[in-house]
Amino acid sequence: MVARTRRQQAALSEGAESPVGNGTAETPKKTSSASKKEVKENVYLFAPNLIGYLRVVLTIASLYYMPLHPRTCSILYSVSCLLDALDGYAARYFNQSTTFGAVLDMVTDRCTTACLLVFLSSAWPRWAIVFQSLIALDMASHYMHMYATLSMGGSSQSHKAVDSSRSWILYQYYHSKVVLFICCALNELFFIGLYLLSFSSPTLSPSLLKPVQEAVGGETGNPWSAGALELARANKIDSFWPWVITGVSAPIMALKQIINVVQLVKASNWLVEGDIANRKALRGKKN
């Protein structure tokens, strides 16, 4: 009995020391249960994304005030644009850079600018085709660039990761935070200047000088017509500073449109390169 007990004790001790013994068999179970209890991150509540939601709210508020309240609209719109730089800083500071945040940022930018250009199209119908073309160029350029980056560069690659060999001007635009901020800020400032001029400059809107009844179409005119809206906007603010803002920012706005064209062309060429490579690979498999 004593010998048997000793053998049993020896076997039990070997089992306890063995890597496949009972002592270690429970370890994976504890590890797996611990991994299940790991806290899942909520990307929607990341700091830069919360800033993005605030930008959306401010943009909607600015659109509400846009028809008749230029000062309030300009302040809300400008704050929304300035927060565009803050969300990028927050993403780097908190290490919360995400694909969702990048797309949210870009979509907000494109929609915000497009809404302002739509208003300018209604303010100056004769120039509507120019503003419509700017909307189309802005949307197409950024969509093509984003799609080319994701499909050719990989889903994890940022749209700002532009190689200098592909485009020198795009490399400078996306890799220098100063250049990117100045181009985006002054581009928006130019359109804000035009927006303010629609409230104050008879030079650009001669109908602002017309008598009330003539502007709205006579006594039976529609108070909700474009003429009535222009009259309501008339002489709300002085035109000096809007002209200064528009004149100073005009060269940068023009540069931004050139960058949009280059971005559209380069993204198209990159996608075509991928098409050619894919077709060549398919022909090689058939042969």
Hey, which residues are catalytic here? 109
Q: Could you give phi then psi for residue 7, rounded to 5 degrees?
A: -65, -40
222 neighbors 162 (Cβ within 8 angstroms): no
245 neighbors 192 (Cβ within 8 angstroms): yes
Indicate the length of the chain as a whole number: 287
DSSP state, residue 237 = S
Of 130, 132, 121, residue with least CA distance to 226: 121
Separation between Cα atoms, residue 196 and residue 163, nearest integer Å: 39
Q: Could you give phi then psi for residue 95, rounded to 5 degrees?
A: 55, 50
The type of residue at 95 is N
Separation between Cα atoms, residue 45 and residue 23, nearest integer Å: 42
Helix/strand/coil percentages in the chain, nearest 5: 80, 0, 20
Distances from the Cα of 178 to the Cαs of 78, 160, 182, 249, 273, in angstroms? 18, 14, 6, 16, 31
- In 207-269, at which residue ranges do the beta strands (DSSP E only) sit? none
Tell me the H-state helices in 18-127: 22-36, 47-65, 70-93, 99-123
